[in-house]
Structure 1
Amino acid sequence: MRRRWAASLVAIALAGAGAGLNAQSQSRSQDRDAPESLLPEGFGDPSPPPPADRPTAPTPQVQPPAGTAPPIRRPGEIVQPIPGLSTAPGLPTPSPTPTPTATPLTAAELLQYDLPDYARRSVARVGAIGLAEGGLPANGFGRSDGRFLEGLMRRLDAPIASRWLSITLRRMLVSRLDTPAGVNGADFAAERAWLLLRMGEAQAARDVVNGVDTENFTPKLDQVAMQAALATADPAMLCPLQPFAMTRTRDTGWRLAEAMCAGLSGEPSRAGKLIDAARKQRAASGIDLLLAEKILGAGAQGRRAVTIEWDGVDRLSAWRWGLATAAGVAVPDTLLASAGPQVRGWAARGAGIAPPARLRAADWAASQGVLSNLAMVDLWGQVEDADDTSNSDAAIARDLRAAYTSADMGERVSILTQLWKEAADPRQRYARMVLAARAAAGVRPAAAQAASAGDLIAAMLTAGLDRPAARWRNVVEASSDAWALIALTDPDARGQVSQGEVDGYRGTADSRRGQLFFAGIAGLGRVDAGSIPSLAEAFAVPINADNAWVRAIRTAAERGEPATVVLLAAVGMQTPDWRGVAPATLFHIVASLTRVGLEGEARMIAAEAVSRA
């Protein structure tokens, strides 16, 4: 039997896990088959025992929604692609259209719905996790108007710059939250799931969709549910929804779903008639129809042999990606390269995709928080075991195993340093820090390794391992990057960082990194409030500048609305990477998150800013 070193490392890494970052940041162990925690594992945990050209960011603006957003589906398309799959850059982001409250079902339709009364769920509160499972409080949106919140979500340009803020945003969007005033609960759930899909979080989007009973679906949620099924390469998800959706729409996608579901349920004759009718009526053609036919042929007694040829296909839609992946048909690299970044998130967690092929997407997914440290370690463990792994990937997997298991601290640090040094770009380097987080946490603090402390600590913090990082406080050099990261994240810090210490870091760090450090330490309240104005002037960070976004996030924080604050924080980080995040924006995000009880997340975002500057 092949060795599954990754699984063993997971067990070792989780052994003896202790208290978390704070009350909201608890460690959540998991086995290989359990659902993955919404927060990176080990957030706040102690480490395992050691073995014997920068774009200028526009000022974030917050405006209430105006008018009606364009629908997901466009005329002539089976299903509108997720933004970036086939739309040209610069086009407005397609999004679900607002819909009125769903029309009550007829008695005949209710007969199809066999959920007992006691198990039915109200759309007044929708989500997958509650407070006990790590979700945000149910009243997290407070008094915020639902139409305003829908407008923010619909227009948010995802993915955002910060991995840790992305993780926090995902956690908020899947939380069991009260539907705010002024919107339909199912429609609001659709907006949440739609944003998750654009973030690359396909499984989380599916969880939100599944949090609404089928009888409460609206046309907008029908549309987003189809997108979630495609993003997760799970056409069977459409089957319980299809009869209901067909009463509200005759969209081509649902007509083909009827044929696919008939095939999947072992009705090849009926499925064949439905797909043949769609062909005769020209409801769909070409590869879109062939992919649907291939899915229905995969059902019991399916007898249709379909060959998929990509010749002449010049764009990748969600329909094509989802059905091809579900059918085990490889999508050409040229089409994948033209797709939006969120597809990498879908692919990185695609169960039907071979582990070596998932590596192409894993770095992006890890850098955005879609994949955690444990998920990355597990993936590389599978890669080492796979027969079709390239020599270069196999070598990395072997080095990674050595980094996690070596008792020689010098050897471990050397392997990790080489792993990060060989990264092709900053995003891959950060992803490899995520991959090696627990290996870094296993390095004993020592003067011999002090020169590498900055990278080791940055790696630990990608997994929220703040206490292992803090063990280096007496080893690192004052005013170094390692010192700055500990100053921002030490969960047991006593007292505040002095004005002189903060100003001292300005003398050693580059200007940009120094500004982000000041923004973080001031936003966290870890420096005396009286010294903040003079430090802000010294670091040239205009924290008193005022605009609509600043007023909105400050007001939400004052009212104690953590869900609203998280959404507005994401609005402030609508930029591809950290180069576009203004230090003043970081200050307001960190300060607001801290005020509403998300101090642990705020610390990790501040540290990420410094390590990725």
Structure 2
Amino acid sequence: MKISRNRAAAAAVAILLAGAAWLPATGQDRPESILPPGFGEPVPPAPAPTPAPAPGATPAPGVPAPAAPIGVAPTDQPTPSPTPTATPTPIDLSAYELPASARRSLAAVGVIGADTGGLDGNAFGTQGGRMAGLLMERLSAPLPSRWLSIALRRALVTQVTTPAGINGADFAADRAWLLLRMGEADAARAVVQSVDVEDYSPRLFQVAMQAMLATGDPAGLCPLVEPASKVSNEAGWGFARAMCAALGGKPAASKALFQAARRRTGRSIDSLLAEKVAGAAASGAVTIEWDGVDRLTAWRYGLATATGVEIPPALLAGTRPQVAGWRATAPMLDASARAPFADYAASQGILSNAALVDLYGEIEASDDSGSTAGALARDLRTAYSDAPVTDRMRTLRQLWTEPTTERGRFARLVLTARAASRIAPTQDLADDETRLIASMLTAGLDRQALRWSRVAATGSDAWAMLALADPRRGRRVAGDEVGGYDGGDGRLKARMLLAGLTGLGRVSAEDAQGLAEPLDVRFGAENSWTRAIAAAARRGEAGTVLLLTAVGMQTPNWRGVPPEVLYHACAALRQVGLEGEARMIAAEAIARI
């Protein structure tokens, strides 16, 4: 059945509202200064979707929109700009053109396949592409769950069949835009680049600019400049043209293009940063002063990062959370500069345990000033060493308790995951078993964590995490054991344990029904979100299930996630073959509440 854009938008909004129906009415803390502008703001009316072109054809331009000021990111629904007048001295981009035999089809777009770690090619189904795109556009990020963020990233970068009702380039733009808001700059860039430039839609050009800026790579704009300028008159493309001329060894052309671009915008921090990029190519010198700059845009962030210009901490402090993910993975920054953003990146799944350990390994190798990060790196070496268990445990306890925020403490669990797996289970460490198990599960070390089942007391948090994370198929948990778990904190953990076990099929229907009423868990409640995720699970669409799980968890932290959402999410994930992800998400709830 073909769904009109208006009907798809209405249905998407209904699902988003239904997914949030169980959520408390508390607002999410949002810094006023944002990067890029548009994140989290009301979504403007969207244009009609770009029709899917025949393989090898160039997509038709969409509805024109007024030119955006330099450095302003697209809104949640990027729209193209009018075709500008011709700019002098066009750049020769013949080197970027692909022969017809090398062109990639828009019928399936993405980075990894099912044989290289991705999901099935039909992860988002073959129908309802516009609906999926609208849900991605309106989804709030970051998500409260590290494991859900990891799984959703995997779905968004998978090479999937483009569903009916959406242009393949637009579908790539929707996925990349969500990845950027999740802090996954490198993944967003990879998705953008999985489409041939000849097949870009106007929306993909705009999102591509954001991806290149988020990764601090203005040179990545060069293959896009000429075709983008035909569908957009954004000032940023004019400066990109000038920068790329300089990078291509054409200083005279670059100078003329800069003069033309400045006639439109005037001389400002934005034009100076572009000249800094061009100056770096020509060994020139441009001084950047941040006086009077009151916010950090994507343009300013990307070009400053690319040229090694230090961004004032006050400007960075006013950005949205995803920028921390971009900073933590920026290869042009040294390890010490990335370290302050590592906790955020680790807690959101942007940095793995191995990547985090490598980061502090770099710091230890280069630190000669006795910095805080250097001291942490040296403690980490002790935790991973062959020192006596008492010494390693003393260090682990210190690492776990130092941070003052929940996110910081959880990031330390990620940091120490493999060090925790080297601690042998013993009753003497009963006071540490919860954090040891939680730490191992952040890295998916479920079998190593399961060794602690012989010493974890029934009814403890350690026991609850193991009951959820147990990789053995057919694992069942007795109703009286579940009923005997309190978890404290108003029995919220008890409700989440019941929801997770029931969704995983580890509690009998009779026990689940008997325990649900006293815990006030409404397994039978229905709305458009529950019906949508159940239908996606029946169709076997793992990507859609993950996207809808994220829709249901749009809240700042785990305390705001309703047990009913966890139940439906676990049941649907299990049905589409993602039981491992469901187990880790459910166990994470116990660890982080």
Q: TM-score per shorter chain, which class?
A: 0.7 to 0.9
Given residue 356 of structure 1, which amino acid in structure 2 is its aligned partner?
Answer: S
Equivalent residue, structure 2, for 1:483: 463
Q: 1:453 to 1:588 in 2, by over 3 A?
A: same
Equivalent residue, structure 1, for 2:60: none
Q: 1:544 to 1:378 in 2, by over 3 A?
A: same
Equivalent residue, structure 2, for 1:298: 280
The RMSD of aligned alpha carbons is 2.4
Equivalent residue, structure 2, for 1:28: none
Specify which of 290, 296, 301 is matched with residue 316 of structure 1. Answer: 296
Equivalent residue, structure 2, for 1:48: none
Q: 1:390 to 1:198 in 2, by over 3 A?
A: farther
Equivalent residue, structure 2, for 1:468: 448
Equivalent residue, structure 2, for 1:169: 152
CA-CA distance at 1:263 after TM superposition: 1.1
Matched, 1:159 2:142: yes
Alignment partners' CA distance in 1, 2:168 and 2:212: 20
Given residue 488 of structure 1, which amino acid in structure 2 is its aligned partner?
Answer: L
Matched, 1:272 2:255: yes
Matched, 1:399 2:379: yes
Partner of 2:288: helix, strand, or coil? coil
1:412-423 map, 5 Å: 412-423=392-403
Equivalent residue, structure 1, for 2:216: 233
Which string of whole-angstrom CA distances, capped at 9 and with x for unpartnered residues, describes residues 405-460 of structure 1? 13312221221111111112110000010001000011011111122111000000
Equivalent residue, structure 1, for 2:241: 258
Contact residue 356 and residue 388 of structure 1 kept, 8 A: no
Alignment partners' CA distance in 2, 1:478 and 1:560: 35
Question: What TM-score results when the alignment is normalised by the length of structure 1?
Answer: 0.83
Contact residue 69 and residue 94 of structure 1 kept, 8 A: no
Contact residue 98 and residue 187 of structure 1 kept, 8 A: no
CA-CA distance at 1:146 after TM superposition: 1.0
Equivalent residue, structure 1, for 2:24: 56
Alignment partners' CA distance in 2, 1:387 and 1:600: 39
CA-CA distance at 1:94 after TM superposition: 3.5
CA-CA distance at 1:350 after TM superposition: 0.6
CA-CA distance at 1:139 after TM superposition: 0.9
Alignment partners' CA distance in 2, 1:240 and 1:253: 14
Question: What TM-score results when the alignment is normalised by the length of structure 2?
Answer: 0.86
Alignment partners' CA distance in 2, 1:208 and 1:503: 46
CA-CA distance at 1:210 after TM superposition: 0.6
Contact residue 78 and residue 284 of structure 1 kept, 8 A: no
CA-CA distance at 1:385 after TM superposition: 2.1
Specify which of 120, 126, 135 is matched with residue 118 of structure 2. Answer: 135
Given residue 257 of structure 1, which amino acid in structure 2 is its aligned partner?
Answer: A
CA-CA distance at 1:202 after TM superposition: 0.3
Specify which of 162, 166, 171 is matched with residue 183 of structure 1. Answer: 166
Q: Out of 317-326 and 504-513, give the one that drifted further.
A: 504-513
Contact residue 72 and residue 223 of structure 1 kept, 8 A: no
Q: Out of 503-512 and 240-249, give the one that drifted further.
A: 503-512
Matched, 1:115 2:98: yes
Matched, 1:246 2:226: no
CA-CA distance at 1:272 after TM superposition: 1.8
Equivalent residue, structure 2, for 1:18: none
Alignment partners' CA distance in 2, 1:272 and 1:303: 14
1:420-499 map, 5 Å: 420-492=400-472, 495-499=475-479
Equivalent residue, structure 1, for 2:308: 328
Contact residue 362 and residue 371 of structure 1 kept, 8 A: yes
Matched, 1:514 2:482: no
Specify which of 368, 373, 384 is matched with residue 348 of structure 2. Answer: 368
- Structure 2: runs of 5 or more not aligned: 1-21, 28-42, 49-62, 82-90
Which string of whole-angstrom CA distances, capped at 9 and with x for unpartnered residues, describes residues 47-103 of structure 1? xxxxxxx981699xxxxx994179999755113247xxxxxxxxxx6332389xxxx
Contact residue 541 and residue 583 of structure 1 kept, 8 A: yes
Contact residue 111 and residue 159 of structure 2 kept, 8 A: yes
Contact residue 346 and residue 356 of structure 2 kept, 8 A: yes
Equivalent residue, structure 1, for 2:511: 531
Contact residue 68 and residue 98 of structure 1 kept, 8 A: no
CA-CA distance at 1:249 after TM superposition: 2.1
Alignment partners' CA distance in 2, 1:72 and 1:428: 45
1:350-369 map, 5 Å: 350-369=330-349
Q: Out of 163-172 and 392-401, give the one that drifted further.
A: 392-401
Equivalent residue, structure 1, for 2:267: 285
Q: Out of 508-517 and 577-586, give the one that drifted further.
A: 508-517
Alignment partners' CA distance in 2, 1:148 and 1:316: 32
Partner of 1:239: helix, strand, or coil? helix
- Structure 1: runs of 5 or more not aligned: 1-53, 60-64, 83-92, 100-107
